Chains A and B, each alone.
Chain A
Amino acid sequence: MHKKSLLALSVAVAAALGLTACSGGSSNAGAGAGDGKTLTLAATTNEKPALDAVVAKFKEQNPGVDVKYTTSALDQYQTTTRTQLSSGTAPDVVFVWPGDGNPMATRVVGKAGFLEDLSSQSWANSFPAGIKPVTQYNGKTYSASVTFSGIGAVYNMTAMTQAGLTPPTTWSGLLQFCSAAKAKGKTAFELGAQTNWVTQLIPYALTPTLVYGPNPNFPQDMTDKKATFSDSKWTDALNKYVEMQKAGCFQANPLGTDYNASLAAVAKGDALSVVQVNSAVAAISTQAPKGTELNMLPVPASDNVADTRMAGAAGSTYGVNAHAKNKDLAIKFVNFLESPEGMNLYAQTNKALPAVPNDAFKVDPALSTLQRYQKGGKTDAFMDQNWPNARVQQTLFQVVQDLLAGKTDANGALKQMDSAYTSGS
């Protein structure tokens, strides 16, 4: 072979092989070798404001202790932390997702042996029934949920009043609301479907009423192969999604609009609401004119108001690295997070609810309905927390975009999700 072509081939092979060089194995390097005074912690960027507050409080209560924490964007966090865990260089405390269905979920990381068993901690049995299972793997507690998060329609009530409209409480009312908003030159529900994870929020808001409320055993039925997405009321949920699009509930180009743009439209009052997680309340507040009133309410999926439920589940959750350098200090920090003081401070700062309801918590008025549903047991866990692998959720993102683009129908979309579900069962 010519010298130059050999060189070109070598460069090409080395460049592409570089992609395969990210590998590793488990290691106990450094476990328990800390100074007992410096705690390391990593989480996603969304958690930073709350971490700033709780870390300051923890340090105030533990003089001489330093807490070094880093935050990064979701994708980067998952990639980096998995690599750190497998190479023995992960921080003492790590942010994890509750349940399953995510590369950094409690059951995925706990099963691999990288999380400390926290079953003996006093708080481990205090979680409400909806949260406790997603902190566990094989009956042992491996993570500590700090907040309770919900999904609902976040209304700009100031813009609603100006438009002379009120939030709908039934499915028929929702479709009428869309028409009325359109007649006023407003978007009823701004949809940032260009951002992958946003695509799932409307099905997550509709299925508690349509699927999980009427049949609380649906997740177990799926595990036992007695139920599938395509043979369930998930079909109704996706059909209603399409019906909303056809009824003009969304702006003209939802697939070309991202998360930030969708919140900005609600903050400006161009759109009246957005179906989002509760953290959007804080994000919209910071962009909206002073005095703008926001309210997070359930998305109705039936014409019987009493049937309406909300998606609500364990939110910010932390685990202790099984090979932590300062394991005792890490457990002490997690115990502080699980105390009413730590939990309330965290939830207050992140505009969420505490994982364990308590009277000392002063709820943000915008989240009072979510709290009422939480206390009334009218919430169902985020669906992916009970899915067997991350592929199902990613498939949902993809098929919803296809659905909105008219490239598939509800049945075709759900068959793809069934296929993704069984591929990891």
Chain B
Amino acid sequence: MSSAERQSVAVAEAAAPVPPLDRRTRKFTARRIGTVPWWFVVPALVFFLFVVLWPSVQGAAYAFTNWDGLSATKDFVGLAQFERLLKDPGGVGAVVHTLLIAFAITVVQNLIGLLLALGVHSKIKSRNILRVALFTPAVITPVATGYLWKYLMTPDGAINQILGFFGLGALQHDWLGDADIALWSIVATVVWQFAGYSMVIFLAGLQGVPEDVLEASRIDGAGPFRRFWYVVRPELAPAITINLMLSIIGGLKLFDQVWVMTSGGPGTSTDTMSTLIYKNAFQFGDFSYGIAMALVLTAFVAILSTAQYKLLGKQGGTK
């Protein structure tokens, strides 16, 4: 099993509704947890502190300097790099593109993922093959996916050829070269890759929906939509929460596919905060400004994912 598959299984298990523990089991679990010595966590904590947290804090400090990423000297400039971001028209555009991508991916990917999950949760014979086939794109590296779709989306590529073959020439486009649709072409690529990932998480949730409750609602005369809305949806709440959080965070941080497919172009029409961070830090030699942008992105991810988690938590999305 690949690491991506293992991760998916772990997430799926987490998303599945947890049956209530009886009193004996709860006591036993509490006693076991209570007896675990606290210092068991120390090695991992020390590793996290010195390998992740401390270098990250050190790196973040450069956002308050004018270091170019190479020179031995640097000056403290306070919040000047953050002020630049507010005045940077490219920065504002990148923030808008990032939010559009995150919103579109979150909505479309989860909607398609849910529909796929409902489809392969049925009793059709080929459901296992379909599950594997639909999940497969998620195990391909995003860079490889980007190159693949970049090739398919060229003006003479397979997509336009197929459209032409079926007499749909009017729908042919320069998918990545047209500044008005390039952003959505990238979104489509990401959705294609990760809709199967969302599907697996929804599927785990669906498998926990009690059959007897569904049967009872059917006898009471509830149609498919009412059964989904009043019986299935509440049981899927944890899966929805996890899927939304993963897709929001993934959308906000999106870099690989954008860089491979358009590098932020044409012009700046697909620049995201991540591509702008990369350009400033590594192409312009404006390292401190790049770090300032990274900190703002950090704040974006933290605020949006926490707000979303809290919101869904209040609606019973967490257990």
Contacts and interface: CB of A to CB of B under 8 A. Distances in A.
Contacts of B59: 17, 20-23
A78 B177 contact: no
Contact of B177 (A20, A112, A256, A407): A256
Given A86-B69, A397-B265, 8 more contacts: A12-B298, A19-B291, A85-B70, A112-B71, A196-B263, A252-B174, A257-B177, A401-B266
Interface residues of A, number: 56
B266 A16 contact: no
Interface stretch (A126-134, A205-213, A386-394): A386-394
B59 to A, nearest CB: 4
A20 B60 contact: yes
Contact of A16 (B150, B155, B175, B298): B298
The A interface is mostly helix, strand or loop, or mixed, namely helix
A211 B58 CA distance: 47
Nearest to B62: A23
B70 A16 contact: no
B283 A390 contact: yes
Nearest to A4: B318
A315 interface: no
Contacts of A314: none
Given A22-B59, A25-B72, A257 B267 contact: no
A127 B295 CA distance: 46
A394 B279 contact: yes
9 contacts: A8-B305, A17-B57, A82-B70, A109-B70, A193-B266, A194-B266, A255-B179, A257-B177, A397-B265
B190 to A, nearest CB: 17
A8 B177 CA distance: 37
Contacts of B264: 398
Contacts of B183: none
Interface in B281-295: 281-287, 291, 294-295
B139 interface: no
A281 B286 CA distance: 35
Interface in A395-416: 397-399, 401-402, 404-405, 407-408
Contacts of B237: none
A2 interface: yes
B181 to A, nearest CB: 11
B310 interface: yes
A254 interface: yes
B136 interface: no
B245 A8 contact: yes
B108 interface: no
A162 interface: no
A4 B313 CA distance: 10
Interface stretch (B29-37, B48-56, B122-130, B219-227): B48-56
Contacts of A23: 55, 58-59, 62, 287, 291
A258 B146 CA distance: 14
A15 B301 CA distance: 9
Contacts of B306: 5, 8-9, 12
Interface string A6-30: 0011001111111111110110000
B154 interface: yes
Interface string A242-262: 000000000011111110010
B284 A194 contact: no
A257 B72 CA distance: 41
B268 interface: yes
B309 interface: yes
A16 B71 contact: no
Contact of B70 (A108, A257, A407): A108
B176 A78 contact: no
Contacts, number: 174
A5 B309 contact: yes
A405 B267 CA distance: 8
Max chain B Cβ within 10 angstroms of own Cβ: one of A79, A103, A397: A103
Interface in A87-125: 103, 108-109, 111-114
A390 B284 contact: yes
Contacts of B283: 75, 78, 103, 390, 394
A402 B68 CA distance: 28
B302 interface: yes
Max chain B Cβ within 10 angstroms of own Cβ: one of A9, A12, A82, A399: A12
Contact of B305 (A12, A258, A261, A397): A12
A113 B318 contact: no
Contact of B60 (A17, A78, A113): A17
Interface string B92-111: 00000000000000000000
A408 B56 CA distance: 40
Contacts of A252: 155, 174
Contacts of B53: 14
Interface string B254-275: 0000000011111111000010
Nearest to A391: B284
A143 B178 CA distance: 41
Nearest to A78: B282
B239 interface: no
A5 B317 CA distance: 12
B71 A20 contact: no
A16 B56 CA distance: 9
A23 B65 CA distance: 12
Contacts of A25: 72
A4 B281 CA distance: 33
Given A21-B59, A256-B176, A407-B267, A15 B253 contact: yes
A394 B70 contact: no
A389 B284 contact: yes
B249 interface: yes
B301 A16 contact: yes
B56 A255 contact: no
B284 A79 contact: no
A406 to B, nearest CB: 9
A17 B298 CA distance: 6
B63 interface: yes
Contacts of A4: 309, 318
Nearest 4 Cβ contacts at the A-B interface: A256-B177, A255-B177, A16-B298, A17-B56
Contact of A257 (B52, B68, B155): B155
Given A194-B176, A402-B267, A9 B302 contact: yes
A338 B297 CA distance: 47
Contacts of A389: 284-285
A12 B249 contact: yes
